[in-house]
Amino acid sequence: MKTAILINDTSTKAHLGCRVVVSQIARLAKSVGIRIATSASVHTDWREHPQLLASMRTADLVIVNGEGTLHDGTRQARALAEVAPFCKAAGVPSVLINSVYERNDAAIAKACQAFEKIYVRESVSGYEARQVGLEVEVVPDLTLSSDVMVPFLGGPRTRTIIVTDNANRNIAKHAQEEALRRNHTSFLHLDTSEPNNPFLGAGESPDFVFTDSGMVAQAPHPSQRREVTPMRAFRKSLFKPNMLRRMEMIRQFGEPLSSQQILSRLASARGVIGGRFHAVCMSILSGTPFIGMSSNTSKMIGMLTDAGLTRFLVDDAKIAFDKIDQWRDADYGATAAYVQKARLDAKSMFEEIATVAN
């Protein structure tokens, strides 16, 4: 098999979506004869590790997992973009996959031109990338090509509407306050409690992972949510409206959950009001009615536009709760078609990637 280096291994975070994405990268790469031999953890600057640089120079391929990083011209965005000219100078092909692309500067755009191929997750990122001269293809987020929801399909649904957190704190606050005033609501984060990525199959973990502290043989366990004590929930809720419900919300957002618990709750909910992009992806996979809310980039509107479901992007919390019951057969059909497209496109993407590997 050919060997690849994965830059921006987000599975070292506890986030469910990140762990599914990286497991899909490993699985799909393996299916076309490519093995992820080494990875660089999210937030680890690949440029600061001589051993990693040496490995990149001798690899058959370098894969950059863009996910939610390539936006706003940040230091992290610049680091990911600069993989491409480094690899080009070394004579090693590199590809950018599963990426957002939004509000970046000219230096990042120029660096990205050195990638052999660029794949973004949704059409807004595609439009922005093309506006700065990049040749890109749109392939839906890799979570949508996974089978992680299959064990939870077909079960009974509860009366509960789940509300997630959101990187856009203002929108998140309004959604949570509205949920506190309603019956049959609960709150869910997407951080898994397992120390290792539960979605990686046998032989799919890299031999080495680079972190800020150097090279390790096994990815470090991500930090876990601290379980909220009743006293802490009480103090944070005191003198605020809906005090008892608020205490429960704080407890639920701090509750350690396994990946199976998170997936099961999303699959069995009456609906999901999600500021979290991957909560909506999992809702799409499970056929759970959802309302998406704007986040820190245009990824949500981009994905829902591509899926033909823009009417379910609602930032007004009251309207969101009323609209969750407006799903129709055509909407479920649209989600099924989008999942099918995601699976076919992901397969084709890795088949194309295999052709550029040394």
pLDDT tens figures, 158-186: 999 999 988 888 999 999 999 999 999 99
Reported confidence tier of residue 210, pLDDT bands at 50, 70, 90: very high
The CA-atom distances, in angstroms, between 204 and each of 29, 94, 221, 354 are 10, 20, 17, 17
Per-residue confidence (pLDDT) for residue 221, from 0 to 100: 83
pLDDT of residue 213: 86
Residue 226 has pLDDT above 80, yes or no: no
pLDDT of 127: 97
- What is the DSSP code (8-state) at residue 182? S
Site of tokens 């069995």: 268
Residues whose CB falls within 8 Å of the CB of residue 300, separated by 6 or more in sequence, listed in order: 277, 280, 292, 293, 294, 313
Query: What value does the mean pLDDT take over residues 228-233?
Result: 89
Q: Write down the pLDDT at residue 218.
A: 80
Task: Tell the burial category of 187 from Cβ atoms under 10 Å away from its Cβ (0-12, 13-18, 19+).
Answer: buried
For 5-14, what is the mean pLDDT? 96
Confidence band, pLDDT 50/70/90 cuts, at residue 128: very high
Residue 217 has pLDDT above 90, yes or no: no
Least confident among 44-48, 98-102, 213-217, 276-280? 213-217
Amino acid at 87: C
Looking at every residue in the chain, the average pLDDT score rounds to 95
Region 252-256: mean pLDDT is 93
Give the separation between CA 94 and CA 62, rounded to whole angstroms.
5
Helix intervals (H) in 91-240: 106-112, 123-131, 169-180, 230-237
**pLDDT for the residue numbered 317:** 94
Q: How far apart are the first and last CA of the chain?
A: 11
Among 3-7, 232-236, 352-356, the range scoring the smallest mean pLDDT is: 232-236
pLDDT tens column, 57-73: 999 999 999 998 999 99
Average pLDDT over residues 113-142: 98
pLDDT above 80 for 263: yes
Residue 137: the pLDDT is: 98
- Tell me what pLDDT residue 273 has: 96
pLDDT (0 to 100) of residue 275 = 84
Range 294-312 average pLDDT: 94
In the three-class reduction of DSSP (H, G, I as helix; E, B as strand; rest coil), residue 163 is classed as strand
In the predicted structure, residue 208 carries a pLDDT above the cut 90: yes
Whether pLDDT at 219 is above 80:
no
Query: Beta partners for 102?
Result: 71
Q: Give me the phi and psi of 133, to 5 degrees please.
A: 90, 10
Q: Which domains does the chain have, with CATH numbers?
A: 2-145+341-356 (3.40.50.2300), 150-196+223-339 (3.40.50)
Q: Residue 107: count other Cβ atoms within 10 Å of its Cβ.
A: 12
Q: How far is CA 124 from CA 120, 140, 302, in A?
A: 9, 12, 5
The residues, ordered by sequence, that sit 6+ positions from 164 with a Cβ below 8 Å of its Cβ are 187, 188, 189, 190, 272, 273, 274, 275, 276, 279
pLDDT band at 202 (very low <50, low <70, confident <90, very high): confident
Asked if residue 225 has pLDDT above 90, the reply is no
Confidence of residue 252 (pLDDT cuts 50, 70, 90): very high
Give pLDDT, residue 68: 85
Q: Strands 117-120, 94-99: parallel, antiparallel or unpaired by DSSP? A: parallel
Q: Is the pLDDT of residue 358 over 90?
A: no
Place of tokens 């937030």: 43
Distance CA(110)–CA(330), nearest Å, equals 42
Task: Name the least confident of 28-32, 55-59, 146-150, 297-301.
Answer: 297-301
Q: For helices 16-31 and 329-356, what crossing angle results, to 10°?
A: 50
Which two structure tokens, joined as six digits, stand for 152? 């939870």
DSSP state of 259: H
Give the range among 39-53, 181-195, 214-228, 283-297 with minimum mean pLDDT: 214-228
The pLDDT value given to residue 296: 86
Q: Which residues, 6 or more positions from 6, have their beta carbon under 8 angstroms from its beta carbon?
A: 22, 25, 36, 38, 39, 40, 63, 65, 206
The identity of residue 201, as a single letter, is G
The string of DSSP codes covering 294-328 is --SSTHHHHHHHHHT-GGGB---HHHHHHHTT---
